[in-house]
Amino acid sequence: MRKKAYFFFCAWIGICIMLSLSLVSCKKSPEKSAEPETEMQAGKKETAQERDDRMTWWREARFGLFIHWGLYAIPAGEWKDRTNHAEWILTTAQIPVTEYEKFAPRFNPVKFAPEEWVRSAKNAGMKYIVITSKHHDGFCLFDSRKTDYDVMDATPFKRDILKELADECRKQGIKMCWYHSIMDWHHPDYLPRRNWESRSAEGADFDRYVEYMKGQVNELLTNYGEIGVMWFDGEWEYTWTRERGIDLYAYVRSIAPDIIINNRVGKGRAGMAGTYDPESASGDFGTPEQEIPATGLGYDWETCMTMNDHWGYNKNDHNWKSIEDLIQKLVDIASKGGNFLLNVSPTAEGLFPQESIDRLKAMGEWMRVNSDSIYGTSASQFEHLDWGRSTTKGHILYLHVFDWPEDNKLVVPGLVSKAQKIYSLADPQTELSCDYQAGTAVISLPESSLDPYVSVYALEFSGKPEVVRSPKISSESDIFHRDLKVTLSCSLEVAEIRYTLDGSHPTTDSPVYRDVIRLDDTTLVKAQVFRDGQAVSGVVEKQYKKIPPRPAEKSAGRTPGLEYAYYQGDWERLPDYSALLPEIQGTTEKFDLSPSAQKEYFGIRYKGYIHVPEDGLYRFYVASDDGSRLYIGDELVVDNDGLHGPTEIMGRIILEKGKHPIHVEFFQRTGGVDFEVAYSGPGITKQPVPAAILFH
């Protein structure tokens, strides 16, 4: 209870100081002149240059350490007859809060050595550390004045773990960063309760909880020196809204203007894929979890991943990823322009598991030789490399060989520029030869790999290296009903694109692309890049179909609104609603969740007609959490089914002017609730489907 007394004392002193200042002066501080700003994302205005300056260190770092540590390390994944728990054990084992609190007096990690933790990360080649200041269980690893449920008050350890770690990071030149959970299963004001809990929600005030959480965020950003990243999590439940995310983002940046914040501060993350729209959602980078995107994302992103199967310590989890796999994952992520945040889960004693130590050590040994190909690099310029990956830095291309060629000939498709020098990072003094053919380079490698995991070769050029990719074929849609404009483009400045419209492969006699191609019938477009009379890329093709508009229905609904049927159930995919008995049926003005009085375990089916003002191509967008589908007549236009976070899927259909049957299905299991049906069409920008065009 020492903190409560301390709090009242500080409040009394603060009031006295404020009264004294009010008597001394009533002058306002001069306002600074405002600089031109560009709104870059929800919750913050800044110029593109300011954003780049803020993100520079993080983009150059590429590799960081994630640490999940808390009371859950004590049971080490075991509860009763199950051994597959970890940091979620409070809810996966359905442990009452009062019972879970009994772990706190047992938390005494006397072998915690911050200098060893930071040294392990630094020696592994990591540039920043993100640690759980508070996970979903609500227990804090720092000295918080907002609660006694922390390491200083509730445990015999009584050491501010975050302070010791932050001080050590500064000593060793590592960026200190915090993970902080928005969700809090312990706090009495956090809502919703777990559906298995017996704790009453009566009197709980979520706004009061948010003020508590923001107070802790303030402590984390003001008591521990400069912090590089605020890594939020637990944003998916319905109580956390887009508006709250925008507010929290702005609040954090008001305290620490140069800090970087992940996209989980607000709504908009597409489940484990971690993707989001940076223009409309808060956050500075995407957060793919336990997966690596197939390609780059077009914005900053970071894959977070475990070394085995759990984030928190589980003593029975021996499914460790191999060293080779982890190094190749690091390379794969860097080759796509992302960062790799690799997790370690310490034991209750405060030790990194030996398996984690071994892997960090091996990755560090690889990085000491090959880090130039990771730090400060940009994504690969190549379309695809069968044998590995590539990164770029200035006038250097780095080639990462995963699979050693049997004939020791490394074929690099698309490389047009000739390198001045080619060498292995493991043996920079030995130059390699290369044979350049039309759009392909063939490097003669040594007889065997110089590295047991990934060999890296540097290609130095006198200027920006030219790499040709297959041309892009672009259009508004792959279906049309009158005519369609098609454009072609390629990555080379000095080259020509030749194309065909009759299904044959392009040749030197095929037309050269100079302007927009207009199609008036179903056509297969093929294209290929040529330079100096030779093909230097692969052939790409795209089919475009001319189809008539779907006929409008003459005898359609005249009454405004939609019919709906409301169901309750626990599903992982959309059920066959026609085989179920609805709880409620009625009409609703538009596509929304007003028929539902609950936030979990329900489904709704909407039926009616939509009126479109003219013939043309229409796009329908369904955003949902969880699954949804949209039909026009019997045609499935949007399929967004399954369990997932907030995800929007778009579908296209060509419609005749008039009314068309529309049928939308939605279900919600647990977690966040998100649902919107939008459309766009001739002269209509994307917008939620208005009630004025819906009938039944």
Which domain CATH number covers 410? 2.60.40.1180
Q: Whole-model pTM?
A: 0.86
The pLDDT score that the predictor gives to residue 3 is: 45
Of 460, 483, 516, the position where a domain reaches its end is 460
Residue 371 falls inside a structural domain:
no
Which CATH number belongs to the domain containing residue 490 in this structure? 2.60.40
Residue 194 falls inside a structural domain:
yes
The pLDDT score that the predictor gives to residue 44 is: 55
d(CA 101, CA 594): 38
d(CA 563, CA 86): 45
Percent of the chain with pLDDT over 70: 94
Same domain, 73 and 144: yes
Same domain, 516 and 424: no
The pLDDT score that the predictor gives to residue 433 is: 96
Total domains, the chain = 4
Same domain, 314 and 353: yes
Residue 569 falls inside a structural domain:
yes
Which CATH number belongs to the domain containing residue 675 in this structure? 2.60.120.1560
Q: Rg of the chain's alpha carbons, rounded to an integer? A: 29
Same domain, 213 and 354: yes
Same domain, 498 and 449: no
422: its two tokens: 């080619």
d(CA 282, CA 267): 7
**664 and 628 in contact (C-beta within 8 Å)?**
yes
Same domain, 625 and 680: yes
d(CA 194, CA 196): 5
Residue 26 falls inside a structural domain:
no
Of 517, 546, 575, the position where a domain reaches its end is 546
Nearest-CA neighbor of 591 among 689, 511, 660?
689
Of 516, 546, 576, the position where a domain reaches its end is 546
Residue 446 falls inside a structural domain:
yes
Residue 538's contacts (CB-CB under 8 Å, 6 or more residues apart) are 383, 413, 470, 528
String of DSSP letters for 284-295? SBB--BS---SS
Same domain, 283 and 315: yes
The predicted-structure confidence for 227-255, as pLDDT tens digits, reads as follows: 999 999 999 888 999 999 999 999 999 99
- Which residues of the chain register pLDDT less than 50? 1-41
Residue 22 falls inside a structural domain:
no
Number of C-beta neighbours around residue 40 at 10 A: 16
Tokens 């508009």 belong to 549
Tokens 């240059």 belong to 49
The pLDDT score that the predictor gives to residue 42 is: 52
Same domain, 424 and 525: no
The secondary structure element, H or E, covering residue 678 is strand 674-681
One-letter amino acid of 40: M
Number of C-beta neighbours around residue 194 at 10 A: 14
Same domain, 521 and 590: no
Residue 382 falls inside a structural domain:
no
String of DSSP letters for 29-70? PPPPPPPP--EEETTEE--HHHHHHHHHHHHHH-EEEEE--S
Same domain, 421 and 333: no
Same domain, 491 and 410: no
Same domain, 522 and 574: no
Residue 574 falls inside a structural domain:
yes
The predicted-structure confidence for 658-673, as pLDDT tens digits, reads as follows: 999 999 999 998 877 8
Structural domain including 398 reads: 388-460
Which CATH number belongs to the domain containing residue 177 in this structure? 3.20.20.80
